[in-house]
Structure 1
Amino acid sequence: MIYPTLKNLLEKVDSKYTLVVAVSKRARQIVDGQPKLTKTASNKPVTVAVNEIAEGKIGYERNYTKNIEQIGESNVPQ
């Protein structure tokens, strides 16, 4: 069985899309030299990021205001 399971990971976030973005951003941070927050046998950044999310070591925060402002600006006629 693969650990962590998708079911376990989805309990930590609100959607599969959020999971992909969170893992991607954290993996980039690890590649850029940020320290790992969990001990894992793998040195692959994506695997480390997935394990950090599964263990609750990292989370995410939605910024709805920024998204609304961007949407509003794109609908303004030029």
Structure 2
Amino acid sequence: MLYPSIDTLMNKVDSKYKLVTLASKRARNLQNKDTLFLDKTVSHKFVGKALEEIEAGLLRAKPVLDSTTYEDEEL
């Protein structure tokens, strides 16, 4: 069984895509020697540690505006 479970993580983040993006960015920061927000973790890998921080409520995704226009899009 995976820890933390996807069910508990989906209570913290409203989309699986946001969850993956948030966890991967945080794992990259941890890999680059950023400090861990938790004192003790179950996971040994960076992605697992990032997911544990999300479950603990220490990380949240920023809200995205719906009216985002990209450079290559025509108005």
Q: TM-score, normalised by structure 2?
A: 0.83
1:68, distance to aligned residue in structure 2 (A) = 1.2
Alignment partner of 1:57 is 2:58: yes
What is the alpha-carbon root mean square deviation over aligned residues? 1.9
Match of residue 25 from structure 1: 25
Code of the residue aligned with 1:74 in structure 2: it is D
Higher helix share: 1
| Equivalent residue pairs, number | 74
Higher relative contact order (CA 8 A, sep 6+): 2
Name the SS of the counterpart of 2:33 in structure 1: coil
Code of the residue aligned with 1:16 in structure 2: it is K
Look at both structures and tell me which one has the larger radius of gyration over its CA atoms. 1
> Identity over the aligned pairs, expressed in percent?
36
Q: TM-score, normalised by structure 1?
A: 0.81
Specify every segment of 5 or more residues in structure 2 that has no aligned partner in the other structure, as ranges. Answer: none
Instruction: For 1:42 and 1:10, locate their aligned partners in 2 and report how far apart those are by CA, in whole Å.
Output: 19
